[in-house]
Structure 1
Amino acid sequence: MTIATIEIPDKKTTLVKQLLKELGVTVKIEKEEKSPYDPKFVAKIKKADKDIVKGRTKKIPIADLWK
C-alpha cells in the first residue's frame, strides 16, 4: 500500500473524491485550517519555548515582580 498526500482546492474536493472512489481508492479527507496567528509571532513563541527547555531564562520571584 502507498499513502499519498495531495492538496486539493476546496472547489475540486468532491470531484476528486468521486474519481478516486471510482478507482477503488480509500479516501480520508483532512481539512487544513489556517492559523489565525502571524507566522513571525508563532516562530517567536517556539523560539522562546526552546530557550526555556535549554535553560536560557531568568527566574524572578513573585515577590519581586512589582519592584
Structure 2
Amino acid sequence: MKTENTFIIHPETKEQENALKAFIKALKMKFEISEGKNYDSEFVAKVEESRHQAYDGKTTKVDKDDLKEFLGL
C-alpha cells in the first residue's frame, strides 16, 4: 500500500546523516536530499507573521465575483 506522507528530517551531525542514508537505502525507499537549500530568514518571518494573523482571525474574505477588483485587475 502506497502512502501520501512525506517526512522531513534534519540531522544535526554528519554521523546522523550517514546513518539515515544507510537506513533508507537498506529499506529500499525513495528519498531525496536538499543540500543547504534553506529559506531566507526574512521570508520565513513573513510567513510566520501571516500564520499568526490568520490564527488571530485577521484575514480578508473576498467573494469570487469581487476578486478582480480586489486584485486591481
Normalising by structure 2, we get a TM-score of 0.45
Normalising by structure 1, we get a TM-score of 0.48
Task: Tell which structure's C-alpha radius of gyration is larger.
Answer: 1
- Greater RCO, 1 or 2 (C-alpha within 8 Å, sep 6+): 1
